[in-house]
Amino acid sequence: MSLKKYHHGDLKNALIQAGIKILAKEGIGGLSLRKVAQKAGVSHSAPYAHFPDKQSLIAAISTEGFKQLYAELDIAVSPYSNNPRRQLAEGAWAYVQFAINNTDTFNIMFSGVLEKEKDYPAFVEISRKTFERVVDVVRVCQEAGVLRPAPPEMMAISVWGQLHGIVSLMLEGQIPHTVLDRFSVREIVFFALNQLISPPQ
Amino acid sequence: MSLKKYHHGDLKNALIQAGIKILAKEGIGGLSLRKVAQKAGVSHSAPYAHFPDKQSLIAAISTEGFKQLYAELDIAVSPYSNNPRRQLAEGAWAYVQFAINNTDTFNIMFSGVLEKEKDYPAFVEISRKTFERVVDVVRVCQEAGVLRPAPPEMMAISVWGQLHGIVSLMLEGQIPHTVLDRFSVREIVFFALNQLISPPQ
DNA sequence: GTCCAAATCTTGACACCGTCAAGATATTGT
DNA sequence: ACAATATCTTGACGGTGTCAAGATTTGGAC
């Protein structure tokens, strides 16, 4: 945590950043501890001073991804705190954008690459916090009649699940091109979201 | 394709079956070509006579998974061809059951493990066929007024995405236990699905 | 039936990987 | 100043995907 440099400086963060870059450039398959170490300019087993194993580095990268996702959701949503419908739409679109613009990070966060998430408190915490944020938006929407009355967590899972499912299938190439030729991603996403939303007025 | 045995017998299928077993027992992390070869009783590079690389074996396993998923969907849906609402419900639940009962196969099929799906025609074909089946069910539901009028492919993506997203988040441990304590998986799934369905009558 | 080309499988090697042990080096607290 | 600790290096281990070379089996042409 100190700003002062010793052997390397803040190697722990350097490793995380190197990992994020490699992930973005070469995908999950190209992400190895040894490559991360090399990119940070240290020997192949230097990372073991900061991470007990590869899973732990992956957990740190995933946690960073969640922090970024949370931040982007917050930025998208905050300006419209008095317009629940708009807030939901902007948040939803921000989620989709994040997934598309950070495919591999998104995959590492949500695709079973991290095997025992509950072992990593920071990951659990930011993931819980993100879900709470979604629940809050959903609750406001319900109070404004934009979403139907129901337990807000339940409705939040419907909304989040809807977005998450569609964008996952899209990234996986499971949406046939016969569909993608006729409709834009935006149309698909908002058509689905609108199924959950009560008609205006 | 011949039923006759030569060196091993139908090694290609034996490798796929061995892979499926290892996948179910040890997860994706435990799936290696060498282990698959050993389980099939051949040397470590025998698989290269049938699969150009590991991705290709994974594609074959994924394809097998899709065939099973298609079969289970079909079995669940067929008995109710004159009851669209029931058909949708049974199909949806079958999808969720498949994901829960075959976590790792499901992950290999949908979680970016297979990197260039379009290179594997059999995979593309069964995946397309499965989507078409969903579209058919959706279309019937629309004609019966169970689902709202819209381009059927669009509505199919909404339904499939909804289910896929919820079950993915669940498998990933992203649904907080505070929610899982209060609601069963069945309640969560059908609450979400009901958001998409027009009220009866 | 014989023989040859192709398919199938084995052996051995290579570079890369995650991980660990032993030791070197720098930092921190006393 | 020194001892305890954190950090990093070197070197090793078994496991991995992949390839090349060669052995073995098969199926078809004659």
Pair B78, B98 in one domain: yes
- Domain extent, residue A144, equals 55-196
CATH of the domain at A7: 1.10.10.60
Task: Tell me whether residue B110 is in a domain.
Answer: yes
* B28 at A interface, C-beta within 8 A: yes
Answer whether residue A129 is part of any domain.
yes
Distance CA A147, CA A168 (A): 24
Structure-token pair, residue A8: 């390397």
Q: Is B94 or B5 the better-scoring residue by pLDDT?
A: B94
Give nucleotides in strand C with any atom < 7 A to a protein C-beta.
7-13, 16-22, 25-28
The whole-number average pLDDT for the span B147-169 is 97
Average pLDDT, chain B: 94
The DSSP annotation for chain B comes to: --SS-SSSSSHHHHHHHHHHHHHHHH-GGG--HHHHHHHTTS-TTGGGGT-SSHHHHHHHHHHHHHHHHHHHHHHHHGGGTT-HHHHHHHHHHHHHHHHHHTHHHHHHHHSS-SS-GGG-HHHHHHHHHHHHHHHHHHHHHHHTTSB-SS-HHHHHHHHHHHHHHHHHHHHTT-S-HHHHTTS-HHHHHHHHHHHHBPPP-
Q: Cβ of residue A35 near strand C, that is under 7 Å?
A: yes
Is A184 inside any structural domain? yes
State whether A168 and A84 are in the same domain.
yes
Cβ separation of B168 and A172 shorter than 8 Å? no
Distance CA B118, CA B120 (A): 5
Runs of H (alpha helix) within chain A: 11-26, 33-39, 54-77, 84-101, 103-110, 121-143, 152-171, 177-180, 185-196
Q: State whether B93 and B171 are in the same domain.
A: yes
The dihedral sign for the CA sequence B37, B40, B43, B48: negative
Helix (H, G, I), strand (E, B) or coil at A5: coil
Which CATH number is B99's domain given?
1.10.357.10
A84 and A1 together in one domain: no
Q: B143: Cβ–Cβ under 8 A, 6 or more apart, which residues?
A: B84
* pLDDT for res A7: 66
pLDDT digits (tens, 9 = 90+) for A28-56: 999 999 999 999 999 999 999 999 999 99
For residues B65 and B102, state if they share a domain: yes
Instruction: Select from B27, B150, B164 the Cβ nearest to the Cβ of A165.
Output: B164
Number of domains in chain B: 2
- Mean pLDDT over residues B122-130, rounded? 97
| Residue of B31, B142, B168, B184 to mutate when probing chain A, most A C-beta within 10 A | B168
> Which residue stretches of chain A have pLDDT < 50?
1-6
The DSSP letter of residue A199 is P
Minimum-distance nucleotide, CA of A5 to C1':
C27
Domain check: are A74 and A164 in the same one? Answer: yes
Are B105 and B93 in the same domain?
Answer: yes
Q: pLDDT value at position A9?
A: 74
pLDDT tens for B14-64 read 999 999 999 999 999 999 999 999 999 999 999 999 999 999 999 999 999
